[in-house]
Amino acid sequence: MNDSPTRIRIGTRGSELALVQANATQAALSAAFPEMILEQIIIKTTGDRRTDVALADVAKAEGVFDKGVFIKELELALDDGTIDIAVHSLKDLPTVLAPRYALAAVLERASIRDVLVTRDGAGFDEIPSGARVGTSSVRRAKQVEFLRPDLQVVDLRGNVPTRLKKLLDGGSHDAIMLAEAGLVRLGYLPEIPANNGPEPVCGMPGLFAQRLEENMFFPAAGQGAVGLEIRADDKPGRVIAESINHADTWLRVTAEREFLRLLDAGCHTPVGVFSSLADGELLLRARVFPETGGAPKTGEARGSNPLTVANDLFLSLQ
């Protein structure tokens, strides 16, 4: 890439949600650089191909950590120059990147909450004992087991529409858990809920969603945010990506990701952490499940510097 690039190639997975996120990135770049040629390159990742087994098993088989199964091929495309910017759901991006890559920017964050989807509109406390709750997230599974030990957690793979259809078919799941951001971005839920109760899932008659407050069901670090990854030595690419960075989102996700780094935790570690920002003050809270099992540790910290707040939260865990 020369000092004044005229073309930027945006790498993305091919799922509906990934394409929505890539389109949002392209729209932001187009507004910032109207003369620039922008091209989307769709790349199929290992995680997209291997939907037959649990994500943790895919990672082990491929010799990668965390949800590297969703970024490996995108990073290889950065390496060989096929793409200039890789667009990720930030919660899929490992906390510590290889030195040749860098997280350069984030788009404005959507909602961070998790959502419970059922066929009868039951709330989280109302699901019948023994019901099967589908998720591919270790964090969600651990919290379901902690909050409702009488429920059965069942592995659930596939993109968002596929997961919803599996629930609608009623074969293996009585409820499933998804991120609110994805459901909103794909048009299954309105951005603003009509009420505090169960809501119909748009386009999926017979399914109902309940948005779970983050202080009850802790989200993943980076949930709801879209991250732009570049080659670390690509200075022009960094300048272009940083031009569309959302400062408040960057502050929040920096604190969340630094907290995971201090824990030496990754995308498959059962950690819930979330932040809020008001009048320049950052609030960070976490729920961390020990690898040996048992009750989670919790903590809370406040301040203005994201790295300091993350460290204070780490020290506050009890």
Predicted confidence (pLDDT) at residue 268 exceeds the cutoff of 70: no
241-252 confidence digits (pLDDT tens):
999 999 999 999
pLDDT in the model for residue 264:
86
Over residues 128-132, the mean pLDDT reads: 97
What are the structural domains, with CATH classification, of the chain? 7-107+224-245 (3.40.190.10), 114-212 (3.40.190.10), 246-318 (3.30.160.40)
Active-site residues, by number, are 92
Residue 292: pLDDT band (50, 70, 90) is: confident
Residue 68 has a pLDDT of: 66
- pLDDT value at position 197? 86
DSSP the chain: --SS-SEEEEEE-SSHHHHHHHHHHHHHHHHH-TTSEEEEEE---HHHH--SS-HHHHHHHHT--TTGGGTHHHHHHHHTTS-SEEEEEGGGS-SS--TTEEEEEEPPP----EEEEESS---TTTSPTT-EEEES-HHHHHHHHHH-TTSEEEE--S-HHHHHHHHHHTSS-SEEEEEHHHHHHTTSS-SS-SSSS-EEPTT-TT-EEEEEPTTTS---TTTT-EEEEEETT-HHHHHHHHTT--HHHHHHHHHHHHHHHHHT--TTS-EEEEEEEETTEEEEEEEE--TT-SSPEEEEEEES-HHHHHHHHHHH--
Residues 156-204: tens digit of each pLDDT:
988 999 999 999 998 899 999 999 999 999 999 999 998 888 999 999 9
Query: Is 239 a residue whose pLDDT tops 90?
Result: yes
pLDDT exceeds cutoff 50 at 59: no
pLDDT digits (tens, 9 = 90+) for 293-311: 789 999 999 999 999 999 9
List, for residues 64-120, the tens digit of each pLDDT value.
Answer: 444 466 788 999 999 999 999 999 999 989 889 999 999 999 999 999 999 999 999
Model pTM score: 0.89
What is the pLDDT at residue 65? 46
